[in-house]
Chains A and B, each alone.
Chain A
């Protein structure tokens, strides 16, 4: 069956360190993959989109990689700050719909 998986465990890191979140998918061949941030009781906020022909994409302190052979995307936040604490969701587009992972909860400790 088709599925998309993210780190199931919450991630706790120290301020200033780099957070790395993983998104793995099976039985899809998405043209692109997206990462969103969701705070409690709020809708997701779009962060980055990476296409299948792109290996890496950056936006300020954020970096996303996309390995279509491994069927994996990694999401990095460098120089993390307590304000980065949230749930991060990956989603891939399939048949013009977004298919979502469960998300990884990130806590950045001061």
Chain B
């Protein structure tokens, strides 16, 4: 149980385009989902916390207009990187909390490369 999927697993785009990443909890309903970014040999950095039906809470230093998060249902959250630039190239990982559990279950991640 507690499976989280992410799509796409890998995306390459040109500078200035927008990229949408989907995160789905497959076998449980997640009231809260989290979006992380991880640079090589760095720890996971929390970008934002997404609650179903409400606005996401962004961490300090994360531009909410650049990283649009939508949590429209209990099983789906999306992250849109708008007007992507090469410095946005990173590994983006989502996670979902199983209500009543104290753990987060992670998706497989999305490797974004902006040319």
Contacts and interface: CB of A to CB of B under 8 A. Distances in A.
Q: Do A and B bind each other?
A: yes
Interface of B, secondary structure class, is strand
Interface in B59-115: 91, 93, 95, 102-109, 111
Contacts, number: 44
Contact of B43 (A42, A43, A89): A89
Interface of B: 4, 6, 34, 41-44, 46, 49, 91, 93, 95, 102-109, 111
Interface of A: 32, 34, 36, 41-46, 49, 89, 93, 97-98, 100-103
A35 B104 CA distance: 11
A93 B32 CA distance: 15
Contact of B109 (A42, A98, A102, A103): A42
A49 B103 contact: yes
Nearest to B9: A41
B99 to A, nearest CB: 13
A80 B44 CA distance: 26
Contacts of B95: 43
Contacts of A93: 102
A85 to B, nearest CB: 17
21 contacts: A32-B102, A34-B102, A34-B103, A42-B108, A43-B95, A43-B106, A43-B109, A45-B106, A46-B105, A46-B106, A49-B102, A49-B103, A89-B43, A89-B44, A93-B102, A97-B34, A97-B46, A98-B34, A98-B46, A102-B43, A103-B43
B107 A43 contact: yes
In the A-B complex, the 3 residue pairs with the smallest Cβ-Cβ separation, listed nearest first, are A43-B106, A100-B43, A43-B109
Nearest to B97: A96
Q: Which of A43, A100, A103 has the largest number of chain B CB atoms within 10 A?
A: A43
Contacts of B41: 102
Nearest to B103: A46
